[in-house]
Amino acid sequence: MKSDISYSLPVTIFREGEAFVAYTPALDISSAGKTEEEVKRMFAEAVGALFEELVDMGTLESVLKDLGWTKAQGSFHPPTVVEHSFMSVQLPSAA
C-alpha cells in the first residue's frame, strides 16, 4: 500500500475580479474559487491530480526537475523561496 507524501509549497492567493486565485511557482499551477476556503480546496485537488497524472505517465521526476525541484536521499524538494515582495518597474508608455 502506498503512503501519502506531504509537501510544503509556497502559494500566493489573490483576488481576480470576484474570484480568488491560488498559484504556486513551484509547480506553475493555479486554481480558482469563489471563496478563500474553496480556492484552497480546489488548489489541493489540482495539485493532487497533477501528481497522480505525472506518476501514471512516468514523468514525475523529469517534470519536477524541469521546475527546479531537487532530489536528495530519495525525496523531492521544491525550490526555496528567497523573497516574495512587490517591486516597482518602469515600463514604456503606450502613447
HEC profile of 23-82? EECCCCEEEEECCHHHHHHHHHHHHHHHHHHHHHHCCHHHHHHHCCCEEECCEEECCCCC
Q: How confident is the model at residue 95 (pLDDT cuts 50, 70, 90)?
A: low
CA–CA gap between residue 19 and residue 78 (Å, rounded): 27
pLDDT value for 2: 63
pLDDT digits (tens, 9 = 90+) for 39-77: 999 999 999 999 999 999 999 999 999 999 999 998 899
Please choose, from the candidates 82, 71, 28, 32, the residue with its C-alpha nearest in 3D space to the C-alpha of residue 50: 28
Provide the whole-model pTM: 0.83
Backbone φ and ψ of 88, nearest 5°: -80, 135
Q: How confident is the model at residue 5 (pLDDT cuts 50, 70, 90)?
A: confident
List the chain domain ranges: 12-77
